[in-house]
Structure 1
Amino acid sequence: MTTVGARVREWRPAWELDLLGTLSPHRRGARDPAFRVEPDGAVWRASYTPDGPGTLRLRCVGGVVEATAWGAGAEWLLDGVPELLGAADEPDGFVARHDVVREQLRRRPGLRIGRTRRVFEALVPAVMEQKVLGAEAWRGWGYLLRRFGEPAPGAPHMRVPPPPEVWVRIPSWEWHRSGLEAVRSRTIMGAARVAKRLEEEPSERRLRSLPGVGVWTAAETRQRAVGDADAVSVGDYHLPGMVGWALIGRKVDDAGMLELLEPYAGHRYRVTRLLESSGRRPPRRGPRLPVRDYRAF
């Protein structure tokens, strides 16, 4: 880690912070070029901020968050550390109504819903993950960031997600090499053209007005960008089965999941995060789905 040009700030949250648990939704696979976890628990994130590219390193020691940032976006990233780590989250009114939820609250008291404040940056990987395996989407994300993202300030081995104007200019053959078919690439480029408006109004209505963006993609985006603790990823391949299995011991569909989560209105995404951390999932009864490779088509 280089300290040249670094800016440092400390922040003490009023709760016992689960640093990695809070930040893990922003990681797109183990090889995400924009996200890195060190052996000592420090977390690195690269982002293209309103002020330009920046890199943020976070480490929690003795209840104090040590934040170090580099690049033109350093001050913007440092200013946003409390919100990124859940300072704007409001879990106080949350009441657990199932034993497994109550147990996970006890085990993970520092799990908060943070927000990056970067809507388009959260939307792009969400679109990539539409109706495909995570590994397939993460491969494309990694390829495009390494190909078109600039080296992260202070961490040149990482890559900063490109700004909207770069995504618009990516040629069709590069999308193909990344493994993304035309439908998802068109959705991303269309969103890039209205990215400024998305940052100004990141509502579900605005997101779902974009061609190719439905309820699942809007929820995945809002969970990360604005910290929407109630956004449910309806349409997810695994989520309804996991929620049903954890809460009532059997798999359910989307309608059944929403019925089970209804008592948690306002905190439904929080509940799914807690249930995911419990490890309770229905047993697999068939072979894993293969990772498709559109580059061979």
Structure 2
Amino acid sequence: MDEESRYEAVCSRDARFDGEFFFAVATTGIYCRPSCPAVTPKRQNVRFYPTAAAAQRGGFRACRRCRPDAVPGSAEWNARADVVGRAMRLIGDGVVDREGVAGLAVRLGYSARQVQRQLNAELGAGPVALARAQRAHTARVLLQTTELQVADVAFAAGFASVRQFNDTIREIYAATPSALRDAGRRAGERSGGQGPGGVPLRLAYRGRYAAAELFDFLGCRAVAGVEELAGERGHRVYRRTLRLPRGWGVAEVTEDAGDRGWLACRLWLSELQDLTCATQRLRRLLDLDADPYAVADRLGADPVLGPLVARRPGMRAPGAVDPAELAVRAVLGQGLPVAAARRLGEVLVAAYGEPLPAPQGGLTRLFPAVAVLAQAPLAELEVTEERRAAVRAVSAALAEGSVLLDAGVDREQAERELRALPGVSAWTAGYVRMRALGDPDVLPARDPLVRAGLRALGAAPDAAEGWRPWRSYALHHLWHRDPR
């Protein structure tokens, strides 16, 4: 988009572009999302920025009315495989907060100076500024929805000191932490600190959201002890345990049947500093940063997929909260029906999962660590020795780091490395790439449901080439195809 088309989106308050760019008003010193309901500013007073961090760096503070820091992330970072896209995914996962810019650069395979230069050139802000904007948003949410002490909020959001936290909040929101807290109280957003009720969050998404199909997908694969799905369709609650960088957590997400723009979520964390990381991993699991408009434009115009897209608007491609867990489960269940794969996962969790300090409902364990599985006999599993060896090989490769599946890896390289391991099929490597690495353009090789779907729809075998770069979404439409 050029600046004139961006201004047209601002004039029409087009929510499709929330998170894709931000606009700032020179006369007020405020930056907003495109759908901000305030009076549209004059064109000569408007500046455009690719990220909230860039707007903040330009000296603008966040609009209190439209809350531009709370929009879904740009879908561009899911699709892009270059160093900028990989860096944005890692920053979202909290790598800069935990490991600094040097750690980010090591993961990307570039020098810190190169990473800084590329991010500044394209996004108008470096990794420190991008991470700072993310910390500020986390802090605002905690201030306005919990009763946590201000110092606890500062460190939970990732700030190094209370003074740094206070200065950042004043600069970005033009308000003190106490003023933000009072605003949340007046708006009725408060629901206590992290106690029995956990930390409440609203996970924003754009456009239509096929929540029922996504919860169906997660529910039929839910491994007892680690995951559970309860309630009636349209009002279900999905809960699962999380293995996080500093500790463990439990997440609870409520199905939204009304397309209100966000999913209600609660998090219980052993270490509050894992809040940002846990939130981002849930967003990847639920594919909340997708751009359903772009997907529908491409797939909806296809003569084969068009009727399926119209039948299920807002279809998402579920990701994973833990790439290592997803890889182990994919290898363990490859070639088996979903129910059989789930039962094997439950046996694995019961034998090797790490117990929670106290059960939370039906959730009792964390999924086994790959370091444990790499040395485990796996005799409890009623599978061939070749399958046990494949699980151990994948676990060992992930534990020692010879295969990496973090948010910023090169996806093609990771798929090649997985396929080189004994017992890992091409289908499994593609499935891991799609879900664990969030690649929106994967069609696992020789998928039987895809072939059956193409035959039933009368499509040519090469029809999938026209579905790029959204083949992962096409795959889910085919998987959910009504056999009638």
- The TM-score with structure 1 as length reference comes to 0.78
Alpha-carbon contact 2:405-2:436 (below 8 Å) kept: no
In the superposition, relative to structure 1, how do residues 33 and 233 fare at CA in structure 2: closer, same or farther (>3 Å)? Answer: farther
Partner of 1:155: 360
The residue aligned with 1:122 is: 326
Match of 1:56 in 2: 251
Inter-CA distance 150–30: structure 2 relative to 1 (3 Å threshold): same
Alignment correspondent of 1:205 = 416
Q: Residue 270 of structure 2: which of 60, 63, 72 is its match? A: 72
2:285 corresponds to which of 62, 66, 84: 84
What SS does the corresponding residue of 1:69 show, helix, strand or coil?
strand
Q: Deviations over 1:198-222 (max 9, x none)?
A: 2243532232232222310111112
- Residues 243 and 214 (structure 1), Cα distance of their counterparts in 2 relative to 1, 3 Å cut: same
- Alpha-carbon distance in structure 2 between the residues aligned to 1:154 and 1:18: 31
The CA distance in 2 between the partners of 1:123 and 1:28, in whole Å, is: 18
Aligned to 1:34: 226
Q: Within 1, Cα distance between the matches of 2:454 and 2:227?
A: 28
Instruction: In structure 1, give the amino acid aligned to 2:209.
Output: L
Give the C-alpha shift of residue 9 in structure 1.
Answer: 1.3
Q: 2:434 maps to what in 1?
A: 223
The alpha-carbon distance between structure 1 residues 156 and 169, as it changes in their structure 2 partners (threshold 3 A), is farther
Does structure 1 retain, via aligned residues, the 8 Å contact 2:351–2:380?
Answer: no
> % of aligned pairs identical?
22
SS at 1:80 equivalent: helix
Provide the secondary structure at the position in 2 that maps to 1:44.
strand
Structure 2 residue 198 is matched with structure 1 residue 6: yes
Tell me which residue corresponds to 1:101: 305
CA distance in 2, matches of 1:235, 1:105: 22
Cross-structure match for 1:214: 425
Note the C-alpha offset of 1:36: 1.7
Higher mean C-alpha displacement, 179-188 vs 49-58: 49-58
Corresponding residue for residue 275 of structure 1:
478
Contact 1:130/1:217, CA 8 A, preserved across alignment:
yes
Q: Which has the higher contact order (CA 8 A, sep 6+)?
A: 1
Q: Conserved in 1, the CA contact under 8 Å of 2:440 and 2:469?
A: yes
Letter in 2 for 1:102: G
Alignment partners' CA distance in 2, 1:131 and 1:80: 27
Question: Where in structure 1 do 4 or more consecutive aligned residues deviate above 6 Å?
Answer: none
Number of residues of Structure 1 aligned to a counterpart in Structure 2: 269
Root-mean-square deviation (CA, aligned residues, Å) is 2.8
Residues 28, 189 of structure 1: alpha-carbon distance in 2 compared, 3 angstrom cutoff: farther
